[in-house]
Amino acid sequence: MLDTVIKNGRIVDGTGNPWFFGSVGIKDGIITHVGSFDIESRENIDAKGQIVSPGFIDGHSHSDLLVLKDPHFDIKLQQGVTTEVVGNCGLAPAPYFKENGSLLKEYVEPIIGNTDWEWPWSTVDEYIETINKSSISENISTYVAHGALRIAVMGFENRPPTKSEMEKMKSILEEGMRAGAIGLSIGLLYSPGRYASKEEIAELCSVLPKYDGILATHIRGEGNNLIPSIKEVIWIAEKSGVSLQVSHLKAAGKRNWGSVFDAISIIEDARARGMDITCDVYPYDAGSTSLTTLLPPWSLEGGIPTCINRIRDKSLRARIKKEVSEEQKDWDNLVVSTGWNNVVVSAASKNSQFEGMSILDISKVTGNDPIDTALDLLIDEDGNVSIVYYHMSNKDVQEVIKWDYSLIISDSLGCEVGNPHPRTYGSFPRLFSKYVRETNTLTLEQAVRKVTSFPVQRFKLGRRGLLIPGYKADITVFNHETINDRATYQNPIQYPEGISNVLVNGVNVIDNKKNLKISKGEMIQASRLMCTCGKH
């Protein structure tokens, strides 16, 4: 007798092949039968008129702490997500060494949030073990994050690492890889990641081939510097011999719209000469990050508290204002390319009345110019301000979504407060409602592949992502005609429609849209054979 049979559905198996009618049988958390069969089961799920798909995989999110704060949280499960990959953009809660612990917390809080309890880990291994011991409802996999790694060893210093510091970082990275991390993530747009040279990153990446690890990168510039930034990370990957994942490929600022075509061409040329490069993209034309990201890199040296002191200093504040108001050669000035009218506060705990308002509109309330308004807000909030900024072209987004080498992600922040980007609640339903059903950018089968088997293959997540006997029974059941993202920029905290059932490791955790709060998730630790080629 089987545990569960999902009957009478249109099966989209994750391969990209056409859908077919059939049933899926499950025993002990594993898919045992797919197609036409008649075997008794303890539980039956009638999927008549619905799609039966592998569980969706969010290959780029910032739920590192959310999954521990609320192990059964609905935000991703209600979207059909059964697995999340965290530790992205160089931002993670580990390694967390007490001597620089406050610097790390202040650095990551606008992106991954924080907790009201002390973090019980120091190393990436201990963070992974904490996840293993928790009662989570979805699966989690993680990178080792370069920003956290650099802070642990060097703090927020803007300089190259010493030889001993580099060896320490490589040692911590290797410990994380041995513990099951899938690779190294870097955030070259963010301090202290932006203080690292390409040579420093390449040397760190020399650890990865031994563990078949991947390099994921938020590139240094997404506006005027998009093309040199793409070339930089390709150089790093080629130098170190690693696979490369470009995080949320886009072109920021109207003057740069269309340059994603050039970026795609450069990546395709690199693939043609044998490099393994892909990218991810979220299905929206606005991004989300911390307000400090808009500041000059030098102003963040030493960490967030030091940055706030610089903003308070009259002469340094004048320098910051001057640089933020002008185009820069050495770093992408997102204010110039985007405009304060397109920078919207999404979370500011002490000034919640401003959430959902642009910096320009807030400046009209305060009576100050927009730059002073932003700087004063950072002071008042101790640097912890999250933003949504409108800076992309829908045409560019659509082009990257349909590209063969892109997978779809949310890039959702881990902050539970405020007026978050709607991608937090709506990314995966939006893929099917807007880019499959409405615009025909992708076929149903292509879209399913981009959120199931493709990320599994890319991140080496084991026997998941396909509806094939012997694979883990992570499954999403949804109505192709009614699946819809209800989250909007004005009202983002809304769960989607059209997803009836979500199974994690064979157990129904969402049943008729109800969260059953069952803990069947697991930490997916990369299992790999050590390289024996003698080159690493």
User: With respect to CATH, is domain 56-285+392-459 assigned 3.40.50.620?
Assistant: no
Q: Which of 388, 131, 73, 89 is nearest to 215 (CA)?
A: 89
- Better-predicted residue by pLDDT, 295 or 334: 295
- Better-predicted residue by pLDDT, 28 or 337: 28
Domains 2-54+465-479+495-515 and 56-285+392-459 share a fold: no
Q: Taking 90 as the threshold, does the pLDDT of residue 535 lie above it?
A: no
* pLDDT given at position 73: 82
pLDDT in tens, 400-452: 999 999 999 999 998 767 889 999 999 999 999 999 999 999 999 999 999 99
CB-based burial label for 1 (10 Å; 0-12, 13-18, 19+): exposed
| Bridge partners of residue 476, in order along the sequence | 53, 502
Place of tokens 């949504």: 388
User: For 2-54+465-479+495-515, CATH number?
Assistant: 2.30.40.10
What would the DSSP string read from start to end of 487-528? Answer: --SSS-----BSEEEEEETTEEEEETTEE-------B-PPP-
* pLDDT given at position 329: 85
* Pair type for strands 499-504 and 475-478: antiparallel
pLDDT in tens, 170-229: 999 999 999 999 999 999 999 999 999 999 999 999 999 999 999 999 999 999 999 999
pLDDT in tens, 240-275: 999 999 999 999 999 999 999 999 999 999 999 999
pLDDT in tens, 296-334: 999 999 999 999 999 999 999 999 999 999 988 888 898
**Mean pLDDT taken over the chain:** 95
Q: Taking 90 as the threshold, does the pLDDT of residue 398 lie above it?
A: yes
The full set of domain ranges for the chain reads: 2-54+465-479+495-515, 56-285+392-459, 291-390
* pLDDT given at position 416: 60
